[in-house]
Amino acid sequence: MSDCLFCKIITGDIPADIVYQDDKILVFKDINPKADVHLLMIPKAHIKSLTELNTSYNDLIAYMMLKLPELANDQGLSGGFRTIINTGSEGGQEVFHLHIHLLGGKNLPGF
């Protein structure tokens, strides 16, 4: 999607602080962190939100879920972490490319 901010990060047209990537996903630091550690995990495929998923994405979604604790561990979050997926404008989604927030650290705000 040519007008998608996160697709532009995937292509390198917009810079980001990338912490991990492979053929399926990209993980980078949130530009406006809400905690000591605040990463965003996105699929490299342009998927707008959770509502666009179907069973053809089963393997990708499982892959992303299994990668989260690995990333949290790499970030030193041995005491735990929080994951958030905002969906739709009323769900607080601002960027319409599916992303999972990974937050952690001592200053994690209450939910």
Question: What binding mask, one character per residue, do residues 37-66 give for Zn ion by CB under 5 A, x or -?
Answer: ---------x--------------------
Active site residue 38: no
Q: Judged by CB under 6 A, how many residues of this single chain contact ligand AMP?
A: 13
> How far apart are CB 79 and Zn ion at their closest, in Å?
33
Distance between CA atoms of residues 3 and 82, nearest Å: 29
Q: Do β-strands 100-104 and 82-84 pair in parallel, antiparallel, or remain unpaired?
A: antiparallel
Question: For ligand AMP, which stretch binds (CB under 6 A), given 42-50, 51-59, 67-75, 91-99?
Answer: 91-99
